Amino acid sequence: MIPGRMSVGALSHGTPTPRAAVSRGIEPPLALLAELTHRCPLRCPYCSNPLELSRASDELDTATWKRVLGEAAGLGVLQVHFSGGEPLVRRDLVDLVRHAAELDLYGNLITSGIGLDADRLAELVEAGLEHVQLSIQDSDAASGDHIAGFAGAQQAKRRTAHLVRLAGLPLTVNAVVHRQNLDRLGQIIDLAVALGADRLEVAHVQYYGWALRNRSALLPSRDQLDAATATVETARARLAGVMVIDYVLPDYYAHRPKACMGGWGRRFLNVSPAGKMLPCHAAETLPGLDFPRVAEAGLADIWYRSPAFERFRGTGWMPEPCRSCDRREIDWGGCRCQAFALTGDAARTDPACTLSPDHELLTEARGDAAQTVPDLVYRQHSAVPRRSSELISS
Amino acid sequence: MTEQPRLSVEGGAVLRFAPHVKFRFDEVRRAWIVLAPERLLLPDEQAVEILRLIDGERDVDAVIDELVRRYEAPREVIAGDVVAMLQDLVDKKVLRR
């Protein structure tokens, strides 16, 4: 699943920094994305996990995850997002949630909702879980199951939402939208309200990894997108104070790139199932970067001193047109993974920007998407033939 | 689940932090923070002062009175700022009645 975009609002500006980091301008991270596993009952064709999925035997053990949580709290992390894959497949999930709560970390479960029953949820609540983010694939059950590649997914999700509300936990529904469900955005919003969501995140597919393989099948048309944006604006007005709707325009139709992860190595850190520490969940696809393993180095050491976290931090690495752009500290050059996926060079300006010399690549992709809708390629563990442009260097 | 009507922040409203919202001091940053579902607010000094008066007992008028006393500023100026900030936080489900 695609983990939610985490919004970092401020009542006013100015993030304080600890004295140790002030001299080098590096702030402590705000949140840890703990990808406990790549195992998942769903097979969504836009999964944000890498094409090379980790197996259960590669996963960090409980003791190591507890150490990671402890070091994260010490480093200044405030929120931990338990994610995957499907984090519920980890038998030590309750243990890890409890450990995080004891460290004053704000615990969030990012889940498909498959495999959560009332007893397990009660254990998670008792352990100190604060919030659940539940993915839905569509408002229509048949289409939802088709996109998830799992019969009965939609029904299981409805049940999970009900259990979460009964347990008194706040609920965010995360709806990943694309060509095949965007026309039903109005119904998706209604479903989220009916499920009792406090917040709905309408997340356009981001095209790298599995989603890039399926881009022609998933990229919406301009007309679809305009209609969806109008739907969101109307619903926001109607639902003010009832349900918050987070929605941002997708890169392929935007003029300026997103500040991906709030900037490389600025706010978020990700620990992969096998224990690599990354600036974002997709960064492992980038070649030439040696992401340290948490088994070999402390989190603070990696955050403040590793070459991989330094590589695209700040503005020093930027090429033109970013380097002299007055938005360089607003969007931080956009997404490195998207730049690499589209141009083969992670250090180029994100092609989502109309100022990028590569912006035409997006224009072409939009044209391709308008013509053909191929079958979906579902995520799977076994090796599959790939086009050379998608090969991962490891 | 039914839709709850939107709450308007009025003088007599007694607000409290919603369940699963944490307002606490962070020792690493030496700053007050608000943790809410997938939201993190870093309130400035003024906002912290207002939020520290949200105790589930004072109503909004009493919060404003206290700030008027501390700052000796015109009540309507302070009231405007306070109500706007609190309404925003109610809409974000950080605070509730």
Q: What pLDDT, in 10s, does the model give residues A251-283?
A: 889 899 999 899 999 999 999 999 999 999 899
User: Min CA distance, A388 vs chain B (Å)?
Assistant: 37
Q: What pLDDT, in 10s, does the model give residues B37-75?
A: 888 999 999 999 999 999 999 999 999 999 999 988 889
Strand pairing partners for A370? none
Residues of B whose CB is below 8 A from A201: 38
From the candidates A12, A108, A163, which should be mutated to test the interface with B, based on the most B CB atoms within 10 A? A12
Backbone phi and psi for residue A159, each to the nearest 5 degrees, phi listed first: -65, -45
Whole-number Å distance between alpha carbons of B9 and B17 = 14
Helix (H) or strand (E) holding A361: helix A360-371
Whole-number Å distance between alpha carbons of B2 and A137 = 23
For residues B41 and B94, is the Cβ–Cβ distance under 8 A?
yes
User: Min CA distance, A137 vs chain B (Å)?
Assistant: 20
**Beta strand ranges found along A178-243 (DSSP E):** 199-204
Residue B85 sits at the chain A interface (C-beta within 8 Å):
yes
Q: Is A65 exposed, middle or buried (0-12, 13-18, 19+ CB in 10 A)?
A: buried
Q: What pLDDT, in 10s, does the model give residues B77-88?
A: 899 999 999 999
At residue A285, the pLDDT reads: 86
Residues of A whose CB is below 8 A from B1: 165, 193-196
Selected residues 36-65 of chain B with any CB under 8 Å from a CB in chain A: 37-44, 46-47
Whole-number Å distance between alpha carbons of B34 and B45 = 13
Q: What pLDDT, in 10s, does the model give residues A299-311?
A: 999 999 999 999 9
For residues A214 and A369, is the Cβ–Cβ distance under 8 A?
no
Residues of A whose CB is below 8 A from B43: 10-12
Non-local (6+) Cβ contacts of A363 within 8 A are none
Residues of B whose CB is below 8 A from A108: 37-38
> CB-CB: which of B20, B41, B85 is closest to A10?
B41
User: Min CA distance, A238 vs chain B (Å)?
Assistant: 10
At residue A11, the pLDDT reads: 38
Q: Which residues of chain A have pLDDT under 70?
A: 1-24, 369-370, 372, 382-394
| pLDDT (mean) for B13-29 | 94
**Interchain proximity A12–B5, CB inside 8 Å:** no
At residue A18, the pLDDT reads: 44
Chain mean position to CA A333 = 18
For residues A179 and A205, is the Cβ–Cβ distance under 8 A?
no
Among A267, A385, A265, which residue's Cα sits nearest to residue A315?
A265
**Interchain proximity B6–A244, CB inside 8 Å:** no
